[in-house]
Amino acid sequence: MGKGKKAGKGAASEAEASRQEVDEILTGKETKTKAKDAAAEKAGEASFDKPFDGAVSRYVAEGAPAAVRKLLAGAGKKDILKGQYPYDTQMSSEDYDAEYEACQLELAKLQRWVRATGQRAAIVFEGRDAAGKGGAIRRMTENLNPRYAPVIALPAPSDTQRTQWYFQRYVQHLPAAGEIVIFDRSWYNRAVVEKVFGFCTDGERHAFFQQLPFFEAMLRHDGIVLIKLWLAVSRAEQLRRFLDRESDPLKQWKLSEIDVKGLGRWDDYSDAIAEMFLKSDTEISPWTVILSEDKRRSRIAVMRKVLSMFDYDGKDSPPPDERIVGGPRLLANYAETWER
């Protein structure tokens, strides 16, 4: 796609050509969007404009690295954009459905065992924006009793909370006996997003990293099973998902102001993430990295990893796919082409 755009004399400027590439990237999505808009108008409803005045499309056309634009313009819907990802295409729906059903049965066994034995578990979901955290959480908890598997997604701290010990507002959500608590983002906000956007001072962040190992060690020594998951996604795939959110009225709510403001801060995020792993990947509280270019494989890997952390009754679950699941070194092995 896009090879003939620049051919011939008097061709559009490079910026205009880039805009055309974005239009082509969105062709398939906008066909669906137009159908939805037509149905909405027929029902007497208004069409949907792109949120933030089309900031994502504009960034892809004008601000994204040329290599990223080229990947987006030439990719099919099911193509994997990350060259070093160990799979070329998405997991088939048939394979996914079979794996998913098996995982759901195992998760039901796990929750029954946790309830019966009084175990306590806290699962931390972190990762780049649009890495698939929310989708993975929804699939993992779909058939769990929400009373004993609450999902905690805290808003920005209140004025009062800003004066408290940083970890204080998370402590009240830690699991009681028989609970599996899922944190959709966590105390690691201070390690990454607060650093990138200047929401905390250098002194506050330094104090966070000093206290963090002791905080997590206390949780572990008190018997809480702490599982920290980092969902990693490449820059091109992140932008593809942002474009999808921007163009689909049913997904536009997912696109936030922080997402838009962070479009040009990929390297700042990378630096903060690298420091976070360096200072928080400990023997007693290690990180698990899941390469999430393919949402289906990522969701299965998340469930398999969680299941692998427990010896519950009737367990019949294989380990997670080691080609996309590992420690922070897994990201290091992908080096610049993954991060940049």
Least Cα distance to 120 among 220, 217, 225, 221 occurs for 225
Q: What's the whole-number mean pLDDT along residues 75-94?
A: 88
Cα atoms in the 13 Å half-sphere on the side-chain side of 12? 11
Question: What pLDDT score was predicted for residue 327?
Answer: 97
| Cβ(114)–Cβ(121) below 8 Å | yes
Residue 50 lies in a domain: no
Half-sphere exposure for 43 (CA within 13 Å, toward CB): 9
Asked whether residue 132 is domain-assigned, the answer is: yes
- 2-38, pLDDT tens digit by residue? 444 444 444 445 545 555 554 555 555 455 555 555 5
Kindly report the backbone phi and psi dihedral angles of residue 57, in degrees, each rounded to the nearest multiple of 5, phi listed first.
-60, -40
Which whole number is the average pLDDT over 68-87? 87
- Domain membership of residue 49 (yes or no) is no
Return the CATH number at 315: 3.40.50.300
**Among residues 94, 327, 310, 299, which one has the least CA distance to residue 228?**
327
> Is it the case that residue 152 has pLDDT exceeding 70?
yes
Name the domain count of the chain. 1
Q: Kindly report, residue by residue over 236-292, the tens digit of the pLDDT.
A: 999 999 999 999 999 999 999 999 999 999 999 999 999 999 999 999 999 999 999
pLDDT tens digits, one per residue of 283-318: 999 999 999 999 999 999 999 999 999 999 999 999
CA-closest candidate to residue 296, choices 6, 40, 95, 77: 95
Domain-embedded: residue 179: yes
Contact indicator for 180, 111 with CB cutoff of 8 Å: yes
Q: How confident is the model at residue 337 (pLDDT cuts 50, 70, 90)?
A: very low
**Above pLDDT 70, what percent of the chain?**
84
| The pLDDT of residue 82 | 79
- As a whole-number percent, the residues of the chain with pLDDT over 90 amount to 79
**Averaged pLDDT score across all residues of the chain:** 89
Closest CA to 128 of 174, 63, 72, 82: 82
Token pair 């899941």 is found at 290
| 103 has pLDDT over 50 | yes
Provide the residue range defining the domain that includes 330. Answer: 93-339
Partners of 289 in the β-ladder: 230, 326
Q: Name 205's Cβ contacts closer than 8 Å, sequence gap at least 6.
A: 190, 191, 194, 195
In tens, the pLDDT along 193-209 reads 999 999 999 999 999 99
Structure-block tokens of residue 112: 């029954």
Q: Is 4 a domain residue?
A: no
Q: What pLDDT shows up at residue 314?
A: 98
Mean pLDDT to the nearest integer, 84-99: 94
pLDDT at residue 20 in the model = 59
Per-residue pLDDT at 74 exceeds 70: yes
Q: In this structure, is residue 165 part of a structural domain?
A: yes
Strand partners for 152: 183
Q: What pLDDT score does 162 carry?
A: 96
Between 152 and 40, residue with greater pLDDT:
152
Q: What is the pLDDT of residues 113-131, one digit of tens each?
A: 999 999 999 999 999 999 9
In a domain, 57, yes or no: no
Is 315 a member of any domain? yes
Q: How far is CA 225 from CA 179, 182, 191, 281, 285, in A?
A: 11, 12, 21, 15, 9
Which pLDDT belongs to residue 79?
A: 87
